[in-house]
Amino acid sequence: MSDPQIGRRALLRGAGGLAALAAVPSLAACGTGTSRASSGSAKGGGKSVVVRDSGGAYGQTLQKAIYTPFTQETGINVEVTNLQGTQMLAQIKQGRPQFDLINNSMKELVKYANQDGLEKLDRDRIKSLTSAQIPDSQITEYAVAHSFYAQCMAYRTDAFGGKKPETWADFWDTQAFKGSRSMCNPDADLPELEFALLADGVPMDKLYPLDVDRAFKVLSRLRSDIKKFWDSGPLPGVLLSRQEVTMSTIWHGRIADLTKQNVPVAAQLNGARRQFSGFSIPKGAAHVDTAYQLLDYSLRPEVQAAVAKAYPSNPSSPVAYDKLTKEERNALAGAPQYYDKGFDADINWWIKNEAAVSKRWLEWARG
């Protein structure tokens, strides 16, 4: 995935479904770009671990910030595969997963757990949970979150005569904040029902279960002002840069790209939606011990901070933000001053309802 945001929909959905359990060839035959870090010291005694991540720029960051220094510290070789969800689950069902640690969205990991595809985690083997102060809300029986991304509002700072939109109600107010809007297509991310409900006055802590009918009524009020539904990470920035829209929903990490290009844009993180990525160990993993070692290493606050310095992801560890400069910290949606302004997507609700909501969204958008 060459997209700087990892090809976010691919990260969120894995292969986009878990039902097709076809036989899968070996790692090498899959064309996964398997790589090895240098062996460093001999402490690992020739041991290895295979980790699945999504590749691309994100994978390059993980290689630099996690895999190579892990090998240098432990001597354990790290191999990387970019297998997709159906391939991984097929191997697990066959009892021969060719990977030991999965790095994927927490939503996908819940799906794998529901398919009996993951080992229950032994928290006593993950010492970094304590030192990193990972919140209990980001830990399940089968997975632990290492980072998140935030979906929020971006607006042109030169469009409203010095006024700044503060809430999702302002996003819907095209009289006070004139201009066209852009929102995401389900091909890019989860439908943005939460933003519509927040705009209609639903408190952030009362969003779930989502009132789908109410959300679509609110979306319909804005439908004629939505110029385009974005289906890729760069598109909101393009629309804002060309002044085709004055406001758009966006993945917060994209804001830095725009400001570097001197586009007059800013983010509003009130009501931002967070979605987490995490680690799990597949059932039948061949190298469970080294998988725990890599998982534990990856969650260290200083390691999470190293990833955040190189890539626009937000550490799950509150301690990691203390290891960033003020400038680095303030550029992240996870910074202490922003965190309480947003909310965590209820992935269990979305797992049950995403297909039906997305189908309804497509009918509504065509409407």
pLDDT in tens, 95-137: 999 999 999 999 999 999 999 999 999 999 999 999 999 999 9
- pLDDT for the residue numbered 45: 54
pLDDT in tens, 5-22: 334 443 333 333 333 333
Q: Is the pLDDT of residue 343 over 70?
A: yes
Angle at 15 between CA 13 and CA 21, to 5 degrees: 130
User: In terms of DSSP H, where are the helices of the chain?
Assistant: 8-13, 56-62, 68-74, 85-93, 106-114, 128-131, 168-172, 193-199, 212-222, 235-241, 254-260, 288-298, 301-310, 326-330, 336-339, 347-366
- pLDDT for the residue numbered 271: 98
Alpha-carbon gap, residue 63 to 50, rounded angstroms: 13
Q: Is the pLDDT of residue 224 over 50?
A: yes
Q: Is the pLDDT of residue 230 over 60?
A: yes
Residue-by-residue DSSP string for 253-290 = THHHHHHHTT--EEEEEEEEEEEEEEEE-BTT-S-HHH
Q: Is the pLDDT of residue 39 over 90?
A: no
CA distances from 357 to 183, 191, 363 (A): 15, 8, 10
CA distances from 232 to 6, 236, 249 (A): 11, 8, 12
> Which residue in the block uniquely carries the two structure tokens 């032994």?
122
Q: What is the dihedral of CA 342, 348, 354, 360, to 10 degrees?
A: -80
Q: Which of 32-41, 228-237, 238-247, 261-270 has the lowest mean pLDDT?
A: 32-41
- pLDDT-derived band at 155 (thresholds 50, 70, 90) equals very high
- pLDDT for the residue numbered 24: 32
Residue-by-residue DSSP string for 146-209 = EEEEEEEEEEETTSSTT----SHHHHH-TTTS-S-EEEE-TTTSS--HHHHHHHTT--GGG-PS
Element of type H or E holding 227? strand 226-230
Are the CB atoms for 87 and 30 separated by under 8 Å?
A: yes
Are the CB atoms for 173 and 338 separated by under 8 Å?
A: no
- pLDDT higher for 86 or 31? 86
Average pLDDT over residues 166-180: 98
Average pLDDT over residues 340-365: 97
pLDDT in tens, 198-207: 999 999 999 9
Average pLDDT, the chain: 89
- pLDDT-derived band at 237 (thresholds 50, 70, 90) equals very high
Alpha-carbon gap, residue 36 to 363, rounded angstroms: 47
- pLDDT for the residue numbered 25: 32
Q: Bridge-partner residues for 282, per DSSP?
A: 118
> Which residue in the block uniquely carries the two structure tokens 């929102």?
183
Average pLDDT over residues 188-193: 97
Domains along the sequence of the chain with CATH: 8-148+275-344 (3.40.190.10), 150-271+347-366 (3.40.190.10)
- pLDDT for the residue numbered 84: 86
Alpha-carbon gap, residue 194 to 280, rounded angstroms: 28
- pLDDT for the residue numbered 31: 30
- pLDDT-derived band at 42 (thresholds 50, 70, 90) equals very low
Q: Is the pLDDT of residue 44 over 70?
A: no
Are the CB atoms for 75 and 42 separated by under 8 Å?
A: yes
